[in-house]
Chains A and B, each alone.
Chain A
Amino acid sequence: MRPAVSALLAVCCGVCVIAAPPGARDAAAPEPLAPYTDTLPDTKITFDMVPIPAGTFRMGSPPGEPGRDEDEGPQHEVTLPAFYMGRLEVTWDEYDQFAQRLDIRRLRRLGREVPRAGATAVSRPTPPYADESWGWGKEKQPVVGITHHAATKYCEWLSAATGKRYRLPTEAEWEYAARAGSTTAYGFGDDPAQLPEFAWYRANAGEQPHPGGQKKPNAWGLHDMHGNVAEWTADLYRPDAYAGRSSPMTAPFVDPDGERYPHVVRGGSWDDDPAELRSAARRASSEAWSRQDPQNPKSPWWHTDATFVGFRVVREVR
């Protein structure tokens, strides 16, 4: 009884329970890489992973691309190994498993076995003093309003739960996957008039995100890279991140090293205009995304004002 109780208490007060090293042991990835569907343990909830081939691409946008910001240059060559990326953005169904599978009270009510602390446990989100789904519902809707920390912890939990090494994409991986071999402003070309076929954005989203996969995918089979919800990447945002990079450069990554802000968000959202949806467009997270959190300390898990940010996962291939 005693260990279970202390685990319960640790979880409910939101203190980190701990810690197996995140995603420490990955099951061998199948070769050659092929799409696969993963299932969250003990659930019927699945998510699809798409192989992204190794390759080299030109990161950033050329001067003169309409809507371009200075922080998108200079363009440089980036080489990446193969990896897998989520076909869709992470849904509430998936994300809630993170909270609920670590909710020992819930497990008890369901008559399920309570895992021993330390085995797969990472800290879980403490509930917000609000409706985290903004009235849009959950289930297949993409998760929104979660912090970079929360998205990172989800990946750690998912890795521990599945035995595969899942994490946020780096900024370079994200842009490489969004381009899917293209060199144009969008994965499908340069003409924003085509956006409605590929993206939920300000002009067509009806002021809200939508369940993923309803729009056309890009050349590598990824949906909603443009629009719907903007997506967290692992990198710290620096406006001059590309300056001084060698070219080609292998797998660049600006390590946040514990900094809470700003991180890079990519792809634009339902709340954005076409320029923000471009493959090279970069956005920086900000404390203002928790502006309406009335508490001090502000929640490390929830952004009260970021109804437009979500994420998708990648899996490393060793």
Chain B
Amino acid sequence: MSSESNPSIGSSRRDFIRTSTAAVVGGTLASTIGVPGAWAAGSDEIRVGVIGCGGRGTGAIDNVLDAAEGVRIVAVGDLFPDRIASCLERVQRHGERAAVPPDRQFSGWNAYEQVIATDANYIILASPPGFRPAHLKAAVAAGKHIFTEKPVAVDAAGYRVVIEAYEASLQKGLAIAAGTQRRHHAAYLEAMRRVKDGAIGEIVAARAYWNQGGLWVKPRQPEWTDMEYQLRNWLYYTWLSGDHIVEQHVHNLDVVNWAMGAIPVRVVGVGGRQARTEPEYGHIYDHFGLDYEFSNGVHMMSMCRQQAGTPGQVAEALVGTQGSLYTQDGRMYEITGPHAWRWDGEYTSPYVQEHINLIASIRAGRPINELKQVADSTFTAIAGRHAAYTGKVIGFDELMTSDESLVPAQLTFGPMPTPAVPVPGLEDVTSM
């Protein structure tokens, strides 16, 4: 196969070590990586408030501090004090930049409001997704720049809250980046640039996969209430995670939406809870298989599963009239056909790159705002979940007006029965 190489990239792939780089969005934003602590606090200082101190929130602290000078963590919040303690212990390597005094460590249900109320000007949202709409709304209302993890909602009501926050954020000129990090990945960006330039012709079909094994579960402790168990095992409860199609597969759906420049209009499909059936796994499904349709008649086959012991596949494909794009995060980015191309380059961690790009956009006064696109891809996943849970054909326009709201109105520690496992044709999930 003939292939064009990427001219700006060296041939050695050994170790891929890159500690400094140019930002890739727009190709114009300069890197600001440098000596930690060398930045004099000033108007450009990024003061980070972190909401959600689990593994991802803690990783995001590493990422934002690795992304630029003039960044420090000024406040942290989590429902649980033990998560704050373990988080701060794990980021000690950053020294003063991550030294958050006790009076800026907030726990409990209102921790997010307390973090937002500080002088932080850059909020990282890394709590379970069910809380994201409320957190986004509050952070935008307070005029903060935001890095938000994906997904950004678990239901239609949450989606609408996020879209309102998005519109307000545009009015306020806020910068918002999302944890759909493929949008900040040099290989994906180059592949997508070529697709938009017509390298595969017209897109006629798409595929998106996230098939993998199981994930972690935290054993119940005697002192935990039902609510605490669900929060600490939030993956397995739809009101918190949106189910794994929303929590995880959103990445792949987002890639196809990105290529299509649109979200689908309807979806039909199947799903179930077949291999991961023990009660500690809550009530979510362990597999989905869906057929999405875009307004131009293009179909996307979507498949995701979390079943231990099964072969995995995390990938996307676009079939065009003149060729195909195959992407597999972390290892393969390839176009076939007359404009064949294969990524053979290096890239920074996209998890750092998304902060590099966000910070650079803030400092340049040209705020990026990814909230709409991540909200739309989140909604795409929510619609797929509805299709599988109900067995119905789900129209996107209709679902957008649904009054379904999964997050309890009153959040307190106490009894909290696990919702029933949805059964197509038997149960209307909007009544859950």
Contacts and interface: CB of A to CB of B under 8 A. Distances in A.
Given A106-B309, A127-B308, A296-B62, A13 B16 contact: no
B38 interface: no
A260 interface: no
Given A286-B15, A291-B349, A296-B91, A103 B313 contact: no
A1 interface: no
A36 interface: no
Nearest to A8: B219
Contact of B219 (A9, A128, A129): A9
B216 A14 contact: yes
A316 interface: no
Contacts of A129: 212, 215, 248
Contact of A13 (B91, B181, B218): B218
Contacts of A96: 309
Given A288-B17, A292-B349, A295-B56, A305 B330 contact: yes
Nearest to A298: B59
Contacts of B349: 291-292
A127 B216 contact: yes
A296 to B, nearest CB: 4
Contacts of B278: 105
B247 to A, nearest CB: 10
A103 B309 CA distance: 10
A93 to B, nearest CB: 11
The 4 closest A-B pairs by CB, nearest first: A131-B312, A9-B219, A296-B58, A295-B55
Nearest to B221: A9
Given A288-B16, A288-B17, A291-B349, A296 B55 contact: yes
7 contacts: A13-B216, A100-B308, A133-B311, A134-B328, A135-B332, A294-B351, A307-B331
A293 B248 CA distance: 15
Interface residues of A, number: 40
Contact of A131 (B90, B314, B351): B314
A100 B332 CA distance: 29
Interface string A78-110: 000000000000000000100010010110000
A12 interface: yes
B63 interface: yes
Contact of B330 (A12, A106, A297, A304): A304
A132 B315 contact: no
A54 interface: no
Given A135-B315, A294-B351, A297-B55, A106 B212 contact: no
A293 B181 CA distance: 12
A131 B210 CA distance: 8
A215 interface: no
B213 interface: yes
A207 B334 CA distance: 11
A286 B219 contact: no
Interface string A115-143: 00000000000111111111101100000
Contacts of A283: 14
Interface in B284-330: 308-309, 311-315, 328, 330
Contact of B311 (A9, A100, A137, A295): A137
B127 interface: no
A12 B218 CA distance: 8
Contacts of B311: 131, 133, 137-138
B217 interface: yes
B240 interface: no
Interface in A274-318: 276, 283, 286, 288-289, 291-298, 304-305, 307
Interface in B338-372: 349-351
A133 B90 contact: no
A271 interface: yes
Nearest to A92: B311
Contacts of A131: 210-212, 311-314
A105 B219 CA distance: 13
Contacts of B350: 292
A12 B217 contact: yes
A12 B211 contact: no
Nearest to B344: A207
Interface string B3-15: 0000000000111
Nearest to B348: A291
Interface in A8-52: 9, 12-14
A138 B312 CA distance: 9
Contact of A292 (B215, B248, B313, B351): B351
B61 interface: yes
A271 B256 CA distance: 28
B314 A135 contact: yes
Contacts of B419: none
Contacts of B15: 286, 288-289
B81 interface: no
A286 B17 contact: yes
